[in-house]
Amino acid sequence: MAGKDTAAPGPSSPSTSAITKYEVFLSFRGKGVGNHFASHLYEALYRQGIHTFKDNEDLGRGQLIPDKVRQAIVQSQIAIVLLSKSYFSSWRCLEELVTIINSSRSNQGQIIVVPVFYGIDPSHIRRQRGSLAAAFEEHEARCSVDTVRRWREASAKIAD
């Protein structure tokens, strides 16, 4: 499975809009969660016939999120976001999170967002304390104020 995106086949539904391609989009940071919990969750969804997008490509630092990932988010019914301590240190995960939150708010997307708190307290995300505070401080040193503001807002929103 490594090195390419994977999507579990799922039943097609006549009630699904034409823009819906996946039933679930799985957002996670590969370190720790990706090789364990995310893989088990993906396999469980696959066994149930739930069409799931799980991106396995390893992008280098500074590379943009592929359009196929952004499209998969917009074309999904549900986004399961596996929030871990390492999730917030990844600018890519934070960009996915912003896209997920924006899609859930827009008229074009009917995406349901399901946060899963994996070894992290939701109040730390909401208040951006602990390891989250350190991650955002590092981002502030490297990224624009506007970018970090969007990431902070999306992070607080998902914890609510």
Q: Where are the chain's structural domains?
A: 6-119
Look at residue 80 in the predicted model and tell me its pLDDT. 96
Assign residue 86 a region (left: φ > 0; alpha: ψ between -120 and 50; beta: otherwise).
Answer: alpha
In angstroms, rounded to a whole number, what is the distance separating the alpha carbons of residues 3 and 13?
29
Q: Provide the residue-wise pLDDT of the chain in tens; the chain has 160 residues.
A: 333 345 555 444 434 444 678 999 999 987 766 568 888 999 999 999 999 998 865 544 555 677 889 999 989 999 999 998 889 998 889 999 999 999 887 755 578 999 999 888 898 898 888 888 899 999 999 999 999 999 999 999 999 8
For residue 127, give the amino acid letter. Answer: R
Catalytic residues: 96
Q: Considering only CA atoms, give the Rg of the chain.
A: 15
**Was domain 6-119 assigned CATH 3.40.50.10140?**
yes
Tokens encoding 62:
């500074």
Tokens encoding 142:
């490297």
Burial pattern 4-21, b for ≥16 Cβ within 10 A else e, equals: eeebbebeeeeeeeeebb
What is the DSSP code string of 59-128?
A: PPTTPPPPHHHHHHHHTEEEEEEEE-TTGGG-HHHHHHHHHHHHHHHSSS--PEEEEEESSS-HHHHHHT
The pTM assigned to this predicted structure is: 0.81
